Amino acid sequence: MKTRISKAMATRLIETGIALTSINNLDELLEFIVHEARGLTKADAGSLYIVNGSNLDFLVCQNDTLTRKVGADAERGLFTVYSIPVSKQSLAGYAALTGEALNFPDVYNLPPDAPFSFNKEFDRRNGYRTMSMLNVPMKAPDGAIVGVLQLINSLDHNGEIMPFEDDMVAVVQALASQAAVAVKNAKLTAALMDAHLDTIFRLAVAAEYRDQDTARHIQRISEYTKIIAKSMGLPGRDVILIGHASPMHDVGKLGVPDSILLKPGKLTPEERVEMEKHTVFGGKILAGSESEILRLSESIALTHHEKWDGSGYPYGIKGGSIPIAGRIVAIADVFDALSSPRCYKPAFPMDKVLAILEHDTGIHFDPDVSKVFFGNLDEIQEIHRRMKESG
Ligand SMILES: [Fe+2]
Ligand SMILES: [Fe+2]
């Protein structure tokens, strides 16, 4: 088959390839792949299946005609995530199993000897007519099939349905291979990120357990700080980062002796000095990392006991010179500590907790952060209720 790819198309393919490498979020990436493939082939609709063991998970469905008919919001309700087996019985399954692209002008009139059939259920339910269809396997360079890209109803200038040109098959195959690499990378990145976050979380739990605190405390701190950061207008990325970094605020307690950390009564002034060192220990444990999350954790570990008026520790810095993340964790941590039971005290009643926070605003807490905290009190209390200590 001789392929004629126009210069404009080649340029678009290259641009798409570059764009593919910059998207890390898997869902976003899959939507983008279908969108670009549809743009190249002028397809009214498109779907994407990802290989999951011996199944194909149907994950993306875009359909201009149905979106116009029902609106974008309702459209999402039309498609449900489902799985089909990788087998010769379905068009997508066949493409995934054999690595062959399938191009048919009308899927209602498939060759009688074909092993696959077209499932008309979706069309029937939504009043749609699938006619021309191109199924292209997403093949990675090592030959593994990552998924199947399915393009539906190629449209001409007048919006009439026509077959997908044979030339297009090679173009979509090129895109599908690039997409396969991007999907593999995105999955790998997600797996690494999960492992990274899991390690961080376990480290934080280890530190808190020594202090009779709980894993729940850490999870709640993560949720509170995200709400406050978001409401303060921090960029979305920073909100996510603070949610991952804040659980490690007390990781330096790993360096405080048990005799002090677990002492039931009041600490002597010397013991207090030792206890306060958990901020500096935490900073040291977390220092020098390339990871953005760990760098933010370091800053939080060091500054979550600083106070707005400069009377905190370890450095006694004040006001805006305390990093914003430290100021946010300060109020979240105090709120959670006061409102939760500890081995040395019961939970304070909520009105008492709030009175203390209010009183300490401008002394301990940044007035702006405090304002946002109280502005989101319902949601914060809801998290506190939902993620209560168990047992
Ligand atoms: Fe602390
Ligand atoms: Fe804490």
pLDDT tens, residue by residue, 196-229: 787 777 777 777 766 555 678 888 999 999 999 9
Alpha carbon of 146 to ligand 2 centroid (Å): 43
Of all ligands present, the nearest one to the C-alpha of 283 is: 1
CA of 277 to the centre of ligand 2 (A): 14
| pLDDT at residue 21, rounded to an integer | 79
Rounded to the nearest integer, the mean pLDDT of the chain is: 89
Query: Which residues neighbour 391 within 8 Å (Cβ) at sequence distance 6 or greater?
Result: none
| Three-state SS at 112 | coil
The closest ligand to the CA of 342 turns out to be 2
3-state secondary structure of 255: helix
Kindly indicate the confidence band of residue 86, based on its pLDDT and cuts at 50, 70 and 90.
Answer: very high
- The Cα–Cα gap between 190 and 275 comes to 37
Q: Is the pLDDT of residue 383 over 50?
A: yes
69-83, 222-236, 262-276, 296-310: segment of lowest average pLDDT:
69-83
Let me know if 192 is exposed, middle or buried by CB neighbors in 10 A (0-12, 13-18, 19+).
Answer: exposed
Longest alpha-carbon distance in the chain: 89
Residue 64 Cα to chain centre, angstroms: 27
Distance 349 CA to ligand 2 centre (A): 19
CATH 1.10.3210.10, applies to 211-386: yes
Ligand nearest to the CA of 224: 2
Query: Which residue type occupies 191?
Result: A
Q: Are 153 and 44 within 8 A, CB to CB?
A: yes
Say yes or no to pLDDT of 194 above 60: yes
Q: Which ligand is nearest to the Cα of residue 282, counting in written order?
A: 1
Cα dihedral 165/169/170/175 (nearest 10): 120
Q: How far is the CA of 46 from the centre of ligand 1 (A)?
A: 52
CA of 380 to the centre of ligand 2 (A): 16
- Determine the distance from the C-alpha atom of residue 266 to the mean position of all C-alpha atoms in its chain, rounded to a whole number: 43
Amino acid at 274: E
Distance separating alpha carbons of residues 151 and 237, to the nearest angstrom: 33
Q: Which residues surround ligand 1, an ion (CB under 5 A)?
A: 250
Residue count of the chain, please give it.
391
What is the C-alpha separation between 250 and 330, in angstroms, rounded?
A: 11
Q: CATH 3.30.450.40 spans which residues of the chain?
A: 7-187
Residue range(s) occupied by CATH 1.10.3210.10 in the chain: 211-386
Single pTM value for the model:
0.62
pLDDT for 157 beyond 50:
yes
Q: Could you confirm whether domain 7-187 is CATH 3.30.450.40?
A: yes
Instruction: Say if residue 384's pLDDT is above 90.
Output: yes
Residue 375 CA to ligand 1 centre (angstroms): 24
Q: Which H helix or E strand runs over 77? A: helix 72-78
Q: Which ligand is nearest to the CA of 215?
A: 2
Nearest residue to 204 (alpha-carbon basis) of 252, 248, 246: 248
pLDDT at 362 over 50: yes
Determine the distance separating the centroid of ligand 2 and the alpha carbon of 211, expressed in angstroms: 9
Report pLDDT for 59: 87
Residue 33 pLDDT exceeds 80: yes
Instruction: Write out the two tokens for 324.
Output: 């914003």
Distance 207 CA to ligand 2 centre (A): 10
Please name which ligand lies nearest the alpha carbon of 261.
1
Which comes out higher in pLDDT, residue 255 or 276? 276
Task: Tell me which residue of 203, 250, 242, 207 sits closest to 222, measured CA to CA.
Answer: 242
If you measure from the C-alpha of residue 371 to the centroid of ligand 2, how many angstroms do you get, rounded to a whole number?
21
- State the distance from the centre of ligand 1 to the C-alpha of 382, rounded, in angstroms: 23
Of 7-21, 35-49, 129-143, least confident by mean pLDDT is: 7-21
Which of 6-15, 56-65, 127-136, 205-214 comes out lowest in average pLDDT?
205-214
